[in-house]
Structures are given as structure tokens and as C-alpha cells.
Amino acid sequence: MKTRRKAREAVLQALYQCDTLAEWDVEGLGLYFERYQQEVALAQTHELRPGLLDNFCFCKDLLAAYILNREVIDQLIGDASDRWSIRRMARVDRNVLRLATTELVAFADIPAKVSINEAIELAKQFGTNESPVFINGVLDNLASSKKSVAINKAIAGFWSGEDSLRTAVNA
């Protein structure tokens, strides 16, 4: 869905911003999403761009899900990437992986193939020539191990913190 792709681009940009500034704070990203809130208000007033509110909520949920579960998500990425620590990865690549891994772990309603394909498309658009292959390999490793104990613990840990996620997102 093209509108979800734009939402993922916005989340990637926000993750890149946080990574660059080394500031991982849900509240600090409020300014980043002000523009989207204004567009949502305009859409509701003028009945423009249906689905914009859904995209806005998806952006906030996805970003908050990563930030509130950052250590677990980064560990999953590190475990799924052969011989690459997350710190050694290109900044765009690691943030595409963060976005897609969060989708795989926290958004069960999105098929894994969709999350992986969207991540590859983001890598083609924003990464290097090698990024799509690297992203695909790491996410395939992660998706194939989705039944593993580590993934199940990550999912359980994520959902046990659902109240804190919703509080942070809706603040």
C-alpha cells in the first residue's frame, strides 16, 4: 500500500534522526510529527486524503514500539546478522532493519513478506547498492527464526509493555 510506504519513510527518517543525535525519546519526536498532525487535521476538516489518520497512528505506533523496545530489537538484529554488529552497519541499513524488525515482532497483522519487501524498497531508495541484499539476508534470517525462543520472548516482552506503549504514543 503506497500510503503505508510513505508512513514507513517517515518512521525511517525519524529513526535516522534519533540515531544521528543519539536521542531516543518518544516525547522528543513530538515536533517531528507536528507536520503530520496538521495534515491529519486538514484531512479531517476538508475530507482529503483518506487513510492519513491511519498512517499517522501507524507511524507513531511503529516508532514508539521501537523506542520502547530498542534493546530487544537491536539484539534480535545483531543475532540475525552474520558477523555484523549493529554499530558497524551503515546508519540507513540499521534503521531500515530496526523498522522492519519492529514490524515483524510487534505487528502480527502485517505479513512478514510485506515487511521484508517494504524494507528492501526503502533500502533501494535510501541505502547503497549493497543495502537491499544485506537487508534481505538479515530479515530472512530473522523471519526464519521467528519461531525461536528469542523471538517469542521478544514478542511476549513487547506485548507485556503494551500499556506503557499506548501511554507514550497517545501522550
Q: Given a cut of 50, is residue 1 above it in pLDDT?
A: no
The pTM is what? 0.78
Using DSSP's 3-state secondary structure scheme, residue 51 falls into coil
Tell me the per-residue pLDDT of 124-157, one tens digit each, with 9 for 90 and over.
Answer: 999 999 999 999 999 999 888 764 545 555 555 5
- Structural domain total, the chain: 1
Contact 66, 25 (CB under 8 A): no
Length, in residues, of the chain = 171
Expressed as residue numbers, the domain containing 139 is 2-170
Q: For the chain, give the longest Cα–Cα distance.
A: 52
Q: Is 59 exposed, middle or buried (0-12, 13-18, 19+ CB in 10 A)?
A: buried
Q: pLDDT, tens digit, for every residue of 62-82?
A: 888 888 888 889 989 998 988
More confident residue, 31 or 171: 31
Q: Can you give the CATH number for the domain in which 112 is found?
A: 1.10.940.10
Neighbours of 146 (CB within 10 A): 15
Mean pLDDT of 23-37: 66
Residue 170's pLDDT band (boundaries 50, 70, 90)?
A: very low
Tell me which DSSP letter residue 109 carries.
T
